[in-house]
């Protein structure tokens, strides 16, 4: 089966072969009107899309039209695991006869006949869940878990389990199906997760876990259906440490012989987690940025720590050989690919503004896309080889959905050699994109640094943790008290726009004068004019060259010679400051250079005053 992907854009919907030519599938015609959604069957055999007044089903291999269903206003679409049944969901409406609108329908793909219909108000978790053999289908209605036999839809509910407060249900894969039911925390009662054997719902749960701080849950089974990860989350963090609420991760066994909370050693939210296809290990991305990524085995023992990096996404390739760690959303879009066999980094991919990322079924390519309405500019998709090479680019005015055509993992070759496969020849669009996007080498300006801090190492408090900075310490909503900033000479620096405290005569309160950078009041001899009666303050532009010192009362007991020596010493101190700036490579003004040129004359005059008249 050849690689293939589909996309849904503003004016067209397409099937494209990814076997090297990246050409449209022969025989597939553009419907001519915007499509609302599309879906592949899980085995990749069928493909269907939705138009305003019809649903069309195709054989995916050659885009041959198989069936048309005359159903209007469909918004969601889903195949059963073997592609026998097709479910559709419409937005519920109020019928004139007062009856409930059966907006969830199930059709036979082979005949097009409507087999059963339900009333489903919520679009979230709208579809039925089927066992892998399609022998049973499960649906949550209120607090009741209803079980159906798809081969006997006309018999209705064949089994039922009532669980008060149930908010979600998840059916496991595998040949021995189980269901996980989550009951949210309510009115002081703790939340809980229960696991039941699907074929014996009347029996007590095989595993049960109770905990607090859980308003909702995300449930992920491993491929074999033997263990399940449950991510719990609250809407509000009562400790006021996180905007995103509190999160917790739990591992439960379907047979009840093991359950454990996944202990994480860094504070902050859990950004993402994923099972490896081998069902024996999983990865978690957690903590305040830069987040940590850790691999655990099925007994929650640490296998490897990838240290801290700006990541919030984790994904194993279908064979479990490669691992993608990325930072999307408000992060830069860097994708780091690691070899799970050696735990070494393979490459780093720069994919900014990515809103969808997906491995190809054979694990050799990675598809990234910028989708609307998440972003309405630079929409399109890119295909990367697992070694980091960009092999295809496809720009679209507005792109809403894209995905690979599924292929059963047993039908795709795994990585048998120690080395990864070589990248294929990129398409013409990829070559053109790389030539256009090739950056012009320029010297990075870097972050702005005030004059007094230039040429010095960045303090650890301002560095990220993965760059050697101090680890983040949550403040619990309490702001850090301001600290005074001083120059290397120990004098207090003047911050433009901040109130400047000035010394006042003894017995009177201190006064504050707002610094205006000389724009409102003008500058005179390197000083900013202030209100009448206040002491002049050095200009912020010259704060480092001539450090501001607190004004002190003039000592009238000094003779003129001592006063002269004191003034000349201040000038030499300012010149030493300028020399330090020049040694750090900073650019000096012409007036500052002229001041440095007069050093010899100042020292000569100072020596003459120190010796005294001959």
Give per-residue pLDDT as tens, 255-305: 888 989 999 999 889 999 999 999 999 999 999 999 999 999 999 999 999
For the chain, give the mean pLDDT.
Answer: 81
Band (pLDDT 50/70/90 cuts) for residue 181 is: very high
* pLDDT at residue number 58: 92
Report residue 412 CA to chain centroid gap: 30
* pLDDT at residue number 242: 66
* pLDDT at residue number 430: 73
Band (pLDDT 50/70/90 cuts) for residue 471 is: low
Structure tokens at 273: 């987690």
Cα–Cα distance measured from residue 544 to residue 538, given in angstroms and rounded to the nearest whole number: 10
Question: Lowest-pLDDT range, 226-240, 434-448, 507-521?
Answer: 507-521
Give yes or no for a contact between 55 and 71, defined as CB atoms under 8 angstroms apart. yes
- The answer, yes or no, to whether residue 236 has pLDDT greater than 50, is yes
- The answer, yes or no, to whether residue 434 has pLDDT greater than 50, is yes
Q: What is the biggest distance separating any 2 CA atoms in the chain, rounded to whole angstroms?
A: 124
DSSP 483: -
- The answer, yes or no, to whether residue 463 has pLDDT greater than 60, is yes
Q: Residue 108 belongs to what H/E stretch?
A: strand 104-108
Concatenated DSSP letters of 535-559: PPEE-GGGTTTS---------TTS-
DSSP 150: G
* pLDDT at residue number 194: 93
* pLDDT at residue number 94: 86
Report residue 138 CA to chain centroid gap: 33
Helix (H, G, I), strand (E, B) or coil at 284: strand
- The answer, yes or no, to whether residue 86 has pLDDT greater than 90, is yes
Cα–Cα distance measured from residue 180 to residue 206, given in angstroms and rounded to the nearest whole number: 10
- The answer, yes or no, to whether residue 30 has pLDDT greater than 90, is no
Band (pLDDT 50/70/90 cuts) for residue 529 is: very low
List b or e across 586-605, with b for residues whose CB sees 16 or more CB atoms inside 10 angstroms: eeeeeebeebeeeeeebeee
Band (pLDDT 50/70/90 cuts) for residue 443 is: low
For the beta carbon of residue 437, count every other beta carbon within 10 angstroms. Answer: 10
Q: Where in the chain is the domain with CATH 2.130.10.10?
A: 266-397
- Taking Cα atoms as reference points, which of 19, 57, 11, 58 lies closest to residue 35? 11
CATH 2.60.40.1180 fits 266-397, yes or no: no
Band (pLDDT 50/70/90 cuts) for residue 500 is: low
- The answer, yes or no, to whether residue 116 has pLDDT greater than 60, is yes
Cα–Cα distance measured from residue 523 to residue 197, given in angstroms and rounded to the nearest whole number: 83
Band (pLDDT 50/70/90 cuts) for residue 246 is: confident
- The answer, yes or no, to whether residue 456 has pLDDT greater than 80, is no
Cα–Cα distance measured from residue 290 to residue 287, given in angstroms and rounded to the nearest whole number: 7
- The answer, yes or no, to whether residue 3 has pLDDT greater than 60, is yes
Give per-residue pLDDT as tens, 399-420: 999 999 999 888 888 877 667 7
Report residue 578 CA to chain centroid gap: 45
Band (pLDDT 50/70/90 cuts) for residue 108 is: very high
Between 433 and 234, whose confidence is greater? 234
* pLDDT at residue number 9: 75
* pLDDT at residue number 302: 94
Average pLDDT over residues 245-258: 90
Between 247 and 6, whose confidence is greater? 247
- The answer, yes or no, to whether residue 534 has pLDDT greater than 90, is no
Give per-residue pLDDT as tens, 127-147: 999 999 999 999 999 889 999
Question: Lowest-pLDDT range, 129-138, 491-500, 598-607?
Answer: 491-500
Q: Residue 247 belongs to what H/E stretch?
A: strand 247-253
Which residues are CB-neighbours of 237 under 8 A, at least 6 positions away?
243, 244, 245, 246
Which residues on adjacent β-strands are paired with residue 227? Answer: 253
* pLDDT at residue number 6: 80
For tokens 């054997």, the residue is: 197
- The answer, yes or no, to whether residue 376 has pLDDT greater than 90, is no
Report residue 143 CA to chain centroid gap: 34
Cα–Cα distance measured from residue 486 to residue 494, given in angstroms and rounded to the nearest whole number: 9
* pLDDT at residue number 185: 87
* pLDDT at residue number 262: 93
Band (pLDDT 50/70/90 cuts) for residue 240 is: low
Average pLDDT over residues 499-505: 52
* pLDDT at residue number 292: 95
Helix (H, G, I), strand (E, B) or coil at 267: coil
- Taking Cα atoms as reference points, which of 543, 614, 540, 611 lies closest to residue 577? 543
List b or e across 178-189, with b for residues whose CB sees 16 or more CB atoms inside 10 angstroms: bbbbbbbbeeee
* pLDDT at residue number 450: 72
Concatenated DSSP letters of 184-229: --BTTBPEEEEEEEGGGTTSPPSEEEEESS-SEEEEEE-TTSSEEE
* pLDDT at residue number 501: 54
- The answer, yes or no, to whether residue 484 has pLDDT greater than 50, is no
Band (pLDDT 50/70/90 cuts) for residue 549 is: very low
Helix (H, G, I), strand (E, B) or coil at 301: coil
Which residues are CB-neighbours of 471 under 8 A, at least 6 positions away?
465
Average pLDDT over residues 568-579: 89
Report residue 480 CA to chain centroid gap: 27
**322-326 vs 313-316, strand pairing mode:** antiparallel
* pLDDT at residue number 587: 78
- The answer, yes or no, to whether residue 548 has pLDDT greater than 50, is no
Angle, helices 590-597 vs 560-583, to 10°: value is: 120
* pLDDT at residue number 315: 95
Between 122 and 463, whose confidence is greater? 122
- The answer, yes or no, to whether residue 507 has pLDDT greater than 90, is no
Q: What separation, in Å, do the N-terminal and C-terminal C-alpha atoms of the chain show?
A: 105
Using a cut of 0.85, tell me whether the model's pTM lies above it: no
Residue 292 φ then ψ, to 5°: -100, 150
* pLDDT at residue number 455: 65
């Amino acid at each position: 089966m050849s690689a293939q992907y589909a996309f849904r854009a503003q004016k067209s919907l397409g099937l494209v072969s990814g076997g090297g030519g990246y050409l449209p599938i022969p025989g597939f015609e553009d419907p001519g009107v915007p499509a609302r959604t599309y879906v592949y069957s899980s085995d990749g055999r069928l493909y269907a899309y939705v138009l305003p007044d019809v649903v069309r089903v195709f054989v995916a291999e050659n885009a041959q039209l198989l069936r048309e269903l005359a159903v209007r206003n469909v918004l969601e679409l889903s195949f059963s695991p073997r592609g026998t049944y097709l479910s559709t969901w419409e937005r519920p409406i109020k019928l004139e006869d007062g009856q409930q609108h059966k907006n969830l329908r199930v059709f036979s793909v082979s005949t097009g006949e409507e087999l059963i219909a339900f009333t489903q108000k919520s679009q979230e978790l709208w579809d039925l869940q089927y066992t892998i053999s399609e022998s049973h289908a499960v649906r949550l209605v209120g607090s009741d878990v209803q079980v159906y036999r798809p081969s006997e839809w006309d018999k209705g509910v064949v089994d039922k389990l009532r669980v008060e407060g149930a908010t979600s249900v998840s059916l496991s894969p595998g040949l021995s199906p189980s269901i996980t039911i989550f009951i949210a925390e309510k009115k002081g009662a703790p939340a809980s997760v229960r696991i039941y054997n699907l074929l014996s719902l009347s029996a007590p749960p095989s595993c049960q876990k109770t905990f607090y701080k859980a308003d909702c849950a995300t449930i992920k089974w491993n491929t074999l259906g033997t263990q399940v990860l449950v991510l719990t989350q609250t809407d509000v963090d009562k400790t006021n440490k996180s905007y995103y609420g509190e999160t917790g991760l739990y591992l439960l066994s379907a047979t009840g012989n093991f359950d454990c909370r996944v202990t994480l050693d860094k504070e902050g939210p859990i950004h993402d987690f994923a099972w490896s296809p081998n069902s024996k290990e999983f990865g978690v991305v957690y903590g305040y940025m830069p987040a940590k990524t850790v691999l655990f085995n099925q007994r929650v023992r640490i296998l490897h720590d990838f240290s801290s990096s700006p990541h919030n996404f984790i994904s194993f390739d279908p064979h479990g050989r490669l691992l993608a760690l990325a930072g999307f959303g408000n992060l830069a879009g860097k994708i780091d690919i690691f070899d799970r066999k050696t735990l070494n980094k393979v490459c780093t991919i720069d994919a900014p503004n990515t809103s969808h990322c997906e491995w190809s079924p054979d694990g050799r390519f990675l598809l990234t896309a910028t989708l609307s309405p998440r972003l309405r500019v630079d929409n399109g998709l890119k295909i990367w080889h697992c070694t980091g090479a960009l092999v295809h680019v496809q720009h679209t005015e507005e792109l809403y959905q894209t995905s690979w055509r599924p292929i059963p993992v047993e039908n795709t070759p795994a990585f048998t050699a120690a080395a990864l496969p070589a990248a294929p020849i990129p398409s013409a669009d990829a070559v053109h994109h790389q030539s256009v996007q090739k950056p012009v080498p320029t010297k990075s300006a870097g972050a702005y640094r005030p004059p007094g801090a230039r040429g010095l190492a960045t303090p650890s408090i301002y560095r990220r943790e993965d760059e050697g900075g101090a680890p983040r310490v949550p403040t619990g909503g309490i702001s850090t008290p301001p600290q005074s900033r001083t120059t290397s000479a120990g004098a207090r620096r003047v911050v433009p726009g901040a109130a400047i405290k000035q010394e006042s005569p003894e017995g009177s309160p201190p006064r504050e004068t707002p610094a205006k950078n000389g724009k409102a009041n003008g500058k005179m001899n390197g000083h900013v004019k202030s209100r009448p009666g206040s002491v002049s303050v050095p200009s912020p532009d010259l704060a480092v060259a001539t450090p501001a010192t607190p004004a002190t009362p003039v000592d009238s007991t000094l003779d003129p010679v001592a006063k002269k020596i004191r003034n000349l010493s201040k000038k030499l101190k300012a010149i030493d400051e300028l020399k330090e700036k020049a040694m750090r490579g900073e650019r000096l003004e012409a007036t500052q250079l002229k001041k440095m040129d007069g050093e010899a004359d100042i020292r000569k005059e100072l020596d003459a005053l120190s010796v005294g008249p001959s």
